[in-house]
Structure 1
Amino acid sequence: MYTLKKSLGQHFLKDENICHKIVVALQEHPFEQLLEVGPGGGALTKYLLQLPNIQFKAVEVDDEKVVFLKKTYPQLADKIIHQSFLDIQPPFDGAFTVVGNFPYNISTQIVFKILEWRDQVNCMVGMFQKEVAQRIAAKEGNKVYGVTSVLTQAYYDVQYLFDVHQNCFNPPPKVMSGVIRLTPRKAPLEIHDHKKFFMLVKAAFNQRRKTLRNAVKPLFTEEVLKDDIFNKRAEQLRIEDFAALTFRMQGSSANAK
């Protein structure tokens, strides 16, 4: 068998019903190429391998799990990328879907990696610590609405699908989990400059108790900062508000808007 490594944030899914629910959620958005992140002991992998007409790859950093998976599922022999997900390049040409019971210690970094690959990732179904899943799905005005919420929802529609109890894992984590699905926004946002958008959102929430005017002062001219929207705090702004502000940032060609 294999050992569980706390250092890698390993909590392996053992509940067959939850595995089925994840696969069903995955199949609601058709795909031809699929990447599983952190297959671990293969609880989900065994179902994913049964999906017809799919190009499948899995990325796993743990040496011991790679050996176990290849021995248990011989068809994985040339389908495992033996690296950290955070270090790899897109594993397919063209569009692909991502699925996984994500290691909790890098789950937010996984989301940001998917945002980097947004031109290729057309769906993600992932298991997160519940509070992280709720943060990604949060709307403006919610106390957990923040950088991850805005940046993810700027590019993807987020659906919180279902809770997962601690007892569904081995070993049980100390917290509840939640499964969410990302699909490309039905109404794409107009963003003047994506790097500036990231900079604006991070600056706004870095001092979330301050008014937007004080938090993002260096990014706008004094004239633009007179606008009433800057009297608000970051958590009061919609995703669309942040996107619109990118056209008014210093150095933007549309400061007059």
Structure 2
Amino acid sequence: MEKVRAKKHLGQHFLKDLSAAQKITGLYRSTGPVLEIGPGMGVLTQYLVERKDLELFLVEIDRESVAYLQKHYGFTDKNLFDADFLEVDLNRVLGLTPDDKFGIIGNFPYNISSQIFFKVLDYKDQVQEVVGMVQKEVGQRIASPPGNKDYGILSVLLQAYYDIEYAFTVPPGAFDPPPKVDSGVIRLVRNYDKVLGCDFKKFKLVVKTAFNQRRKMLSNALKPIAAQAEFPYENKRAEQLDYTQFVEITKAIFE
């Protein structure tokens, strides 16, 4: 197969380093349906189509890229969707039921990478694995343990359901055009042994409220939702707690 090189358009940064592309796709170890976000001109796709254990779907918002992928790989509207990932019903486009499992892979656009992971959380019982390239600091934040400045809202929410690995860094020279920052590749694997034990929406509200004023003690940071409630860890800051401790707080406030 002729190996595809990245094409520059839409002002985005497209991966041109084929060894990095192979490493990224090699990290993905699940089988069955997998959705590639923003395949562009197929730099990752060319390796994914070689995997006979995958049922590959793609979502791409750029029509020039859609036309290229249709021409060079024979994708049709059954497996290649000209759409915005953030707006589509994933079960509908993939032809899945809420009980079906699938994975996600891609070189995620910097400007929507956090939104992509919030959408992953909407499908957390179905998304069994995610391999994504993001801005390095975003990847470090998601994989960060409690106790440092990188740790934040997405860290807590994703770690409540996924085992997370920051895999490797990709330098600017691997892209066309080169970005001004390093990129990072992360891998998330759903851990179905993790059971939250409280309402997710309330848990998410507690975490977001706590980190909105992350420099304050939780006794002050959580006043907007817990003015009359007693809860543990009042004298801690949000970045000091892991997801299990936020679960304890959620139960204390709402149950």
Q: What TM-score, normalized by structure 1, do the two folds share?
A: 0.90
Q: How much has 1:2 moved relative to structure 2?
A: 5.8
Q: How much has 1:34 moved relative to structure 2?
A: 0.9
1:142 is paired with a residue whose SS is: coil
Within the candidate set 27, 36, 44, 1:25 is matched to 27
Residue 247 in 1 paired to residue 235 in 2?
no
2:7, 2:36 → 1: CA distance?
A: 19
Deviating beyond 2 angstroms after TM superposition, the runs of 4 or more aligned structure 1 residues are 75-78, 218-223
Match of 2:42 in 1: 42
Match of 2:121 in 1: 115
Letter in 2 for 1:14: K
Q: How much has 1:147 moved relative to structure 2?
A: 0.6
Match of 2:3 in 1: none
Residue 163 in 1 paired to residue 165 in 2?
no
Match of 1:198 in 2: 204
Query: Residues 39-91 of structure 1, C-alpha deviation per residue, up to 9 Å, x if partnerless?
Result: 01111101111110421110001111111221222245642111010011122
Match of 1:14 in 2: 16
Q: How much has 1:142 moved relative to structure 2?
A: 1.1
Query: Residues 127-168 of structure 1, C-alpha deviation per residue, up to 9 Å, x if partnerless?
Result: 000000001011111111111111111111110111111111
Q: Is the 8 A contact 2:108 2:134 kept in 1?
A: yes
2:28 is paired with a residue whose SS is: helix
Within the candidate set 184, 190, 193, 1:184 is matched to 190
Within the candidate set 149, 174, 194, 1:143 is matched to 149
Q: How much has 1:187 moved relative to structure 2?
A: 4.1
Gaps of 5+ in 2: 1-5
1:22, 1:181 → 2: CA distance?
A: 9
2:234 is paired with a residue whose SS is: helix
2:225, 2:205 → 1: CA distance?
A: 9
Q: 1:185 to 1:125 in 2, by over 3 A?
A: same
Match of 2:216 in 1: 210
C-alpha RMSD over aligned residues: 1.7
Q: Is the 8 A contact 2:229 2:252 kept in 1?
A: no
2:164 is paired with a residue whose SS is: strand
Percent of paired sites with the same residue: 45
1:234, 1:88 → 2: CA distance?
A: 33
Gaps of 5+ in 1: 253-257
User: Number of residues paired by the alignment?
Assistant: 244
